[in-house]
Amino acid sequence: MATLYNLTANGSTDAQRVYGDISFDVSGTFGGGTLALEFSIDGSSGWYTPTDDDDVAIEYTSAGSRGMRHGGIYIRHTLTGATGPNIDIQVSGVSRQTKN
């Protein structure tokens, strides 16, 4: 199963704990903004943007997909610098829980 989010303003999705193979698919109108994937150990503080194997931050300024494997971490997506965005985000993985 997948979790779907829609961002229509700058801000963050809910924190979600994910495990195993995870994929992220984003599409829509970015309104000049940047959508960053963020990690946290506890899901409430210490958010940071992970980097890929080339030490480049995992961020989107247009539609795209990424995949990764993780042993268990909280994730969220944060949109900044956008005007009139309408972004759809799909997070798919082996196991996940939403943090309330």
Give the pLDDT mean for 41-45: 91
The first and second tokens of residue 16, run together, are 């979600």
Alpha carbon 49 to chain centroid distance? 10
Give the pLDDT mean for 70-84: 93
Q: pLDDT digits over 17-42, tens only?
A: 888 888 999 999 999 999 999 999 99
Q: Tell me: pLDDT of 98 over 80.
A: no
2-98 belongs to CATH 1.10.10: no
Q: Tell me: pLDDT of 1 over 80.
A: no
- DSSP 3-state percent helix, strand, coil across the chain (nearest 5): 0, 65, 35
Task: Report domain extents, the chain.
Answer: 2-98
Q: Tell me: pLDDT of 48 over 60.
A: yes
Give the pLDDT mean for 88-99: 72
